[in-house]
Amino acid sequence: MTDAGPSGSVHGVEVSETMLSQAAGRYRRDIATQRLSLHSGSMTQLPFADEALHGAITVNTIYFVAELDKEFGELARVMNSRGRLVIGLADPDVMAKLPFTGHGFHLRPVPDVIDKLRSAGLTVEHRQIGEHANAPHLLIAHASRETSRTTAGLDRNRLSASIERDRPTTLS
């Protein structure tokens, strides 16, 4: 939340009411000052306007989403042209060895996840957190220069100023 800056706001989107209630207790001060807003909902249908967010991060969540195209389409829709989306995920080979991942987890090869991000119109940088081949992955995605929505009809400077001032960011 510190990365959102002193006047920035952060949104959390979560499908589980239990997790939302835990977050509401833990971050009650930030919620009271409207620095943090929690939303009950899914990453496949985000409660934000087009290009509303300056950044988004989601860690260890995509295994639970069957419709990854829909999720990435939504994330691409809500990111502004200078925004950055970060997806953290464990290596699928590591995950496949865990006893619980056989129960409803969607484990996908990382290149497939990258392809889906690209299909959503994003450029993707792939990093790993560690030296070994099965280290956890970070996918850092930006709106593609050629596919990012244009701001035709809008004052580009005013739009940027508004985004910079508010710097809304989402977490899950």
Ligand X SMILES: C[S@@+](CC[C@H](N)C(=O)[O-])C[C@H]1O[C@@H](n2cnc3c(N)ncnc32)[C@H](O)[C@@H]1O
Residue type, 35: R
Stretch that binds ligand X, among 8-16, 111-119, 135-143, 159-167 (CB under 6 A): 8-16
Q: Is 123 in the site for ligand X (CB under 6 A)?
A: no
Residue 152 makes CB contacts below 8 A (sequence gap 6+) with none
Q: Which of 43, 114, 117, 141 touches ligand X by CB under 6 A?
A: 43
Residue 133 makes CB contacts below 8 A (sequence gap 6+) with 91
Residue 12 makes CB contacts below 8 A (sequence gap 6+) with 20, 23, 36, 37, 38, 39, 170, 171, 172
Q: Which of 5, 37, 44, 151 touches ligand X by CB under 6 A?
A: 44
Give min distance, CB of 35 to ligand X, in A: 19
Choose between 46 and 163: whose C-beta lies nearer to ligand X.
46
Choose between 7 and 16: whose C-beta lies nearer to ligand X.
16
Q: Is 19 in the site for ligand X (CB under 6 A)?
A: yes
Q: Is 95 in the site for ligand X (CB under 6 A)?
A: no
Tokens representing residue 22 in the block: 């835990």
Q: Is 20 in the site for ligand X (CB under 6 A)?
A: no
Stretch that binds ligand X, among 23-31, 57-65, 112-120, 159-167 (CB under 6 A): 57-65
Alpha-carbon torsion 10, 7, 27, 87, what sign?
positive
Q: Is 13 in the site for ligand X (CB under 6 A)?
A: yes
CA distances from 42 to 65, 72, 82, 148, 166 (A): 9, 12, 23, 23, 23
Stretch that binds ligand X, among 10-18, 32-40, 77-85, 143-151 (CB under 6 A): 10-18
Q: Is 64 left (phi over 0), alpha (psi -120 to 50) or beta?
A: alpha
Residues that bind ligand X (CB under 6 A): 13-16, 19, 42-44, 59-61, 64-65, 172
